[in-house]
Structure 1
Amino acid sequence: MIVGTGIDIVNIERVERMMARWGGLFLSRVFTEREIERCQQRVRPSECFALRFAAKEAFLKAIGRGLRNGIRWTDIEVENDLLGKPLLSFRRKAREILETERIGKALLTLSHEQPFAVAHVLLEGKNDEGSER
């Protein structure tokens, strides 16, 4: 059963300006070390960072809490499987919230077209046996 959905759109040029102004401070506050490493290897790092920022915002909207109750940007990480499919992984407070709210799966899709990056997150709940509803 679907228990939450969130969508976010980010202006890639805005992320470029934030990177130029705040540099490593912005990156380390919002992104994990693996995300930073992965995005900095791309031809257009700002596009990669914008997609990940949108994904984190979409997840926060889907759980309906935003950055409250101790959750941090770096508690949410965007990864890719071997075929490039985007995946969300969670640690610390984000993982705790998923367990408390009985969320079994977080599905993510990303897209971009200059100057925008967009992300959509769909949350599926767990049934009484612990699998997805």
Structure 2
Amino acid sequence: MIIGTGIDVVDIARFEEQIARTPGLVARLFTPLERDLHVRSLAARFAAKEAAAKALKAPPGMIWQHCWIENDPSGAPVLCTEGTVAEEARRQGIDRWHLTMTHDGGIAMAMVIAERTGEPAGAAPAGTRAAESSGDGAAS
């Protein structure tokens, strides 16, 4: 059952300007492994974090670094969570995330689907890496 969906679009040039104006922004928004990526990849990851927050219905108190993107062996993006984001996902019964991200023509975009699969105990814990995700990995 789909619990929530989220989509977000980021203007890459505007995002780059915000990063330049606010030196601590990258450290506040991104995990250490994400911080050295190209600005278009950071913009796509920011869009993914925003989309995840929307899928969770934007609860207060979420910490940006408690949601990050990794890539599976095929290069597809995988939404990972811990702390405040994982706890909210657990509270809502979310046990699977689906993510796709892209960037093209100066725009970065991400879409997230939060799902409750109803899998039996012992399944992957809520708010951890998605068992499935989709995407072309272009924003990695």
Report the TM-score when normalising by structure 2. 0.82
Same amino acid, percent of matched pairs: 36
* Distance across 1 between alignment mates of 2:58 and 2:21: 28
**Alpha-carbon distance in structure 1 between the residues aligned to 2:49 and 2:25:** 15
- Aligned counterpart, 1:18: 18
- Give the helix-richer structure, 1 or 2: 1
Structure 1 segments, 4+ long, off by >3 Å, are none
Aligned to 1:34: 33
SS of 1:82's partner is: coil
Structure 1: which 5+ runs fail to align?
40-44
The one of 73, 77, 80 equivalent to 2:68 is 77
Which residue does 2:88 correspond to in 1? 97
In structure 2, the residue corresponding to 1:16 is in which secondary structure? Answer: helix
CA shift at 1:71, angstroms?
Answer: 1.0
Deviations 1:54-83 (A, max 9, x none): 0000000111025x1x21111101111122
Classify 1:46/1:128 alpha carbon distance in 2 versus 1 (closer, same or farther; 3 Å).
closer
**Aligned position for 1:42:** none
Q: Is the 8 A contact 1:72 1:93 kept in 2?
A: yes
Distance 1:128 1:47, change over 3 A: closer
Does residue 1:46 correspond to 2:45, yes or no?
no
Deviation for aligned residue 1:126: 3.6
Deviation at 1:128, TM superposition (A): 6.8
Structure 1 length-normalised TM = 0.86
The count of corresponding residues between Structure 1 and Structure 2 is 123
Asked if 1:55 corresponds to 2:54, the answer is no
The answer as to whether partners of 1:12 and 1:114 remain within 8 angstroms in 2 is: no
Compute the RMSD of aligned alpha carbons.
Answer: 1.6
